[in-house]
Amino acid sequence: MLFLKQAALNLIRIDRKFDQPHKGSLLLSEPFLDDMKFRRTVVLLGEHSEDGTVGFVLNRLLNITTRDVVPDLLLTEHPVYYGGPVEPNTLHFIHKSGDLIDGSQQIANGIYWGGDIGLVNDLIKRNVLKPEDFKFFIGYSGWESGQLIQEIENKAWWLTESNNRVVFDDDLENMWSNLVRTLGPDFAYMADSPEDPQWN
């Protein structure tokens, strides 16, 4: 019953303010996205330029920890998230520590990406930061030049702004629906829609 999906999407008024991604944006996948890797995901954009886009899925927890991925590197054991399908043999992290970690890049206010992972132990040991001030990802989500804009125009993604409360929220089950509700009444009713439109 594909017409149900199309009818639901046609009822949504897309405001132009959601059409321009940038570093720090959050991508919210539309409810019936065909790509199961991104179904009902929230993706933080760490970089967006004419050359392409890099992001990390915030609400897909894997059944592994940093100890499984990088044994003996970190003193504390952190959960690991599915960052995306690109380069699944790489480990990335975001954090709240600003310029306390050399080489980190600011994504948005209070949200930073990467840097010297060797400093994580020291910051946690000195209680400057807590383990929950970090998120670690296997792989990342990537788009070639112009690809993400095209997907947004095709209404595969909605856009909103990030903040560190949302990005480091541990309520993964409700993260997507909670953010969809913040987009306004034209979107809020979709937050509780079934994953398969045929269930209506």
- Total number of domains in the chain: 1
188 in any annotated domain? no
Residue ranges in the chain assigned as alpha helix (H)? 2-10, 66-69, 120-125, 147-153, 164-167, 172-181, 185-188
180 in any annotated domain? no
Q: Read off the pLDDT of residues 70-116 as tens digits, 9 standing for 90 and up.
A: 999 999 999 999 999 999 999 999 999 888 999 999 999 999 999 99
Expressed as residue numbers, the domain containing 166 is 13-174
72 in any annotated domain? yes
73 in any annotated domain? yes
118 in any annotated domain? yes
Angle at 33 between CA 29 and CA 38, to 5 degrees: 60
Q: Read off the pLDDT of residues 52-78 as tens digits, 9 standing for 90 and up.
A: 999 999 999 999 999 999 999 999 999
179 in any annotated domain? no
The CATH number of residue 103's host domain is 3.40.1740.10
